[in-house]
Every structure is written in C-alpha cells, then in structure tokens.
Structure 1
Amino acid sequence: MEKALVLLLVALVAVAYAAPGPRGIVVNLDEGEICLNSMQCKSGCCQHDTILGITRCTHKAMENSECSPKTIYGIYYRCPCERGLTCEGDRSIIGAITNTNYGICLDSGRSKQ
C-alpha cells in the first residue's frame, strides 16, 4: 500500500513539473480571458463595458486613445496607458469613485520638449 502511495506521489510531482508555465485560471491570463482583477492579466488591464458586463483582460491604452488613471478597484471601463504614456484628463474625486474620470493617453516625454 505504501509503495502505491509513493508511486502516485511521484507521478503527481512529475505531472506538475511537466506542465507549461504558471498559467491558469488565477494569474497570467491572456487577452480576452475572463478576469476579476487587473492583477490577473498579463497586460495589467481587466476591463468591462457596462456595470453588469463581463470583465475580460485586454491591452492597455495606446497613445491618443481614451484611458483611465489607475484605480483602487482593479477593474476599468477604459484601460490605463501603456508604459511611457500618461493619462491626461479630469482627476475629480467623484470621477475616481465612480471610475468615470477618463482622459487621453499622451507621451509625457514629448510634452517636455
């Protein structure tokens, strides 16, 4: 009986090591996969269109596209900007609470020149 348990344990460990990368239902999700928070997505953005809409991982906002600044909720109506861009727009307290303080992604390095 003990030998069977040891063999089963060894087989389970071998399968666990053979599995590709740390990907699954919790973290490191690809674009289009359902998410609960932006920390789960490879892109860093979990977005939905309506309050009752399904949230899915999507790419971050590109230059000159609509964006939201970082939020404490981790779910966006508009994704934050890609690296190197800043979300320029309304930064009101009410907008931060309701997640409606949208802006436009602008290149911060270009505006300083």
Structure 2
Amino acid sequence: MAQFRMTTILLFVGLSLCFEFAQSELKCMDSPCMTSAECMSSCCYIYQPNGMGTCVDYMYKSCFGPDNGNQCYSSDGCNSGCCKISQPLEYARCVPKLEGQKCLGQEDGDLCYTSEECKSGCCHSRAISWMVPTCVPKRNKNECFGSDYGDLCYLSMQCKSGCCRKNTCKLFAETGRCARRAAEDEFCTKMIHFQVNQHCQCEDGLTCDNSAPGTQRGFCKKPASANKCL
C-alpha cells in the first residue's frame, strides 16, 4: 500500500512538472508570435500577411490559426492545410480541406492576398466587388494586388505601410493603392479602416490631431506641438 501511494505521488508530481513546463513554453502578452497556439492568451494577432504577430488578450482582437475557424494568411498556417477567403474584403479562415476546394496558395488559380504570394507575381481579380482574387499569369503590373507604395489593394493589411488609400473621391470606392503614412502637417486619420481609407495614419513619432467634433480627419503633428483646434 505504501509503495502504491508513493508511486501515485511521484506520478502526480511528474504531471505537475510537465504542465508547468508546457505553460512556461507559452508566450506572454506582447510577445512575437505566428499562431494563437503559441500564446498564453490563446490569441495571436497578425496585422500584415506573412508578418510576425503579437500575443494579445483573447477578447481584444481577432486571433490567427491554426485551428478551423481561426483567421489565417496562408494555408501552411492551418492544421487542415487550407486557408480560404469566402468573400472579398474579409479575412481568410482555416477550413477543412475538401477535394477541388480553392485555398490560399502560389499556383495559378489559387486564392491570394498579395502578388508576392503567387509564383506568377500577380494576384488579381477582374471584378473585386464579387470575385475573390486569385493567382493569374502576369500581364500588367497595374492590375496586380501588391504591398508596396502605388500597388493596387483592397485591404489595408495588404500594404507594408498598413494603409490602402482610395483611388478616387468616390465615397464607397472598393479598391485603392498602397500609400505611405502621412508626414508632418499632412492630412491624416486616426480611424484606420479594415478596407480602404480616405487618408492614412501618421508616421511614427507623430500624432493625428483630429479633435474637431464630427470629423475623423486631422493633421499630423509632433505630440508637443499638436494643435487642439482644427
């Protein structure tokens, strides 16, 4: 009986140590991550495709892969091996891989976010309002979705700058161009939209002074010299 009790105690201690070790391997808040499984909070938020994410509070922002239903930027980031965009202008999600189903990939016909993902160098959609972009043979760079300044975009997260700016003055324009962040004394917006924006956020070290009631537009100012009356 004493031997059995000792064995039980040792087993319990061993399991406890294993659990503590596993917990210690998980990353703390604000640590870099690629999937939510790496974080103690079970939430990794990634702002740009193929970029490093940050462990955040589970209720704070949308969480990324690798389980079905989680948001994703590549099929490699999903346990199922399939990251799929269901509709334009939305995040892709990990889904069960079905025969004949299109997933995010590199070959012509595969779904895509940016042209950098495609072997052809072109991610394109002829009718962005209803058709999900796919990798296509490269014909005209101006037709391809990219991430550098001036490249076509339909989501701000596609751009290295984090800002997809409207092509025209149309209020509900669905596509834009990747634009640089606003410099000092240039128009800016603090409310960065998921899709396209009328103006971009400020460069690092500047704040968007948009305290005027009823508007989200302002001017980029250095914090110490920000004008509070637009």
Q: Report if TM-score (shorter chain) is over 0.5.
A: yes
- Count of matched residue pairs: 85
Q: CA RMSD in A?
A: 2.9
Deviations 1:82-110 (A, max 9, x none): 11100002365x54xxxxx21000011x4
User: 1:104 aligns to what?
Assistant: 219
What residue number does 2:186 align with? 65
The structure with more helix, counted as a fraction of residues: 1
* TM-score, length basis structure 1: 0.60
Return the match for 2:209 from 47, 65, 88.
Answer: 88
CA 40–88 in structure 1, closer or farther in 2 if over 3 Å, else same: same
Structure 1, unpaired ranges of 5+: 1-15, 17-21, 96-100
* Partner AA of 1:83 in structure 2: D
CA distance in 2, matches of 1:85, 1:28: 26
Instruction: Give the Cα–Cα distance (whole angstroms) in 2 for the partners of residues 87 and 111 of structure 1.
Output: 11
Q: Runs of 5+ in structure 2 lacking a partner? A: 1-106, 108-114, 118-122, 124-132, 134-144
Structure 1 residue runs of 4+, over 4 Å off? Answer: none
Higher relative contact order (CA 8 A, sep 6+): 1
Distance 2:212 2:195 in 1: 17
| Matches for 1:1-113 after TM superposition, within 5 Å | 23-24=116-117, 25=123, 29-48=147-166, 49=168, 50-53=170-173, 54-90=175-211, 92=213, 95=215, 101-108=216-223, 110-111=224-225
Structure 2 match to 1:19? none
TM-score by length of 2: 0.32
